[in-house]
Amino acid sequence: NAGVTQTPKFRVLKTGQSMTLLCAQDMNHEYMYWYRQDPGMGLRLIHYSVGEGTTAKGEVPDGYNVSRLKKQNFLLGLESAAPSQTSVYFCASSERDSYGYTFGSGTRLTVV
Amino acid sequence: KQEVTQIPAALSVPEGENLVLNCSFTDSAIYNLQWFRQDPGKGLTSLLLIQSSQREQTSGRLNASLDKSSGRSTLYIAASQPGDSATYLCASPNQAGTALIFGKGTTLSVSS
């Protein structure tokens, strides 16, 4: 029972490089979310999706793009990485809005 | 805009002690309040969800209460154990009800 799987688990990027973080869930959940967690700042919502083909901005969307082409996958893209994007990124999914969140184990990203 | 605050930021107690973690929120028109646990380097695990029509929820040694009128929730842990050491986060839906807004968490350390 995999739940929510995030890849990669660790990544180091140089400033200006691009990358995509992949989140996959096998629970047929409608809602998916991307959060970032920073010391002293807590978890902050980047983008979320309320269903296949939909995306919406959260609290801190600048510098990120997302896509939900398939119901089970939610991709987070960084087009031009900056040191301020060094963080731990968590993906989550839920069957309905704000209920029954399942979190992935996180991706630790360092931008140098 | 919903804001969630947790006090204290850190707490150290000896094994066996009963303890209370506090959470406050600014928008009392919430329809649920949730408590999560996060172990170091891991994702979040859901502990308790309190519906707005409920005043409390219990799971084993954990009891969470909700007082919408005062904008507060508490997580009570009975007979604490070293295995309870973790960061505890509370969360409430945003105003649109589409995603959870998290507090910064209380890091609990239980010594044996």
Tens of pLDDT, residues B75-91: 999 999 999 999 999 99
Q: List the single residue in B43, B49, B100 with the smallest CB-CB distance to A105.
A: B43
CA quadruple B70, A97, B45, A8: dihedral positive or negative?
negative
What residues in A contact B89, CB-CB < 8 Å?
42-43
pLDDT average, residue stretch A32-59 = 94
Place of tokens 């502990």: B47
Give the count of alpha carbons within 13 A of B111, CB side only: 4
Q: Tell me: the pLDDT tens digits for B15-52?
A: 999 999 999 999 878 888 999 999 998 999 999 999 88
A77-97 residue pLDDT tens: 999 999 999 999 999 999 887
pLDDT of residue B94: 86
Interface of A with B (CB under 8 A): 4, 31, 33, 35, 40-45, 48, 50, 56, 58-59, 90, 92, 97-106
Q: Given this model, what pLDDT does residue A1 score? A: 63
* Chain centroid, CA A102 distance in Å: 13
A35, A101, A106 ranked by CB distance to B46: nearest: A101
B99: tokens are 């995603």
Burial class (CB in 10 A: 0-12, 13-18, 19+), B5: middle
Task: Please state, in angstroms and rounded to a whole number, the distance separating the CA atoms of residues A67 and A73.
Answer: 8
Alpha helices per DSSP H over B25-107: none
**Nearest partner of B94 among A44, A68, A62, judged by Cα:** A44
Find chain A residues with C-beta within 8 A of B97's C-beta.
97-98
Instruction: Write down the pLDDT at residue A40.
Output: 85
Query: Which is higher by pLDDT, A66 or A2?
Result: A66
- Please identify which residue in the block is written with the tokens 């604490």: B80
pLDDT at B96 over 90: no
Q: What are phi and psi of A73, to 5 degrees?
A: -120, 140
Residue A90 in tokens? 């968590």
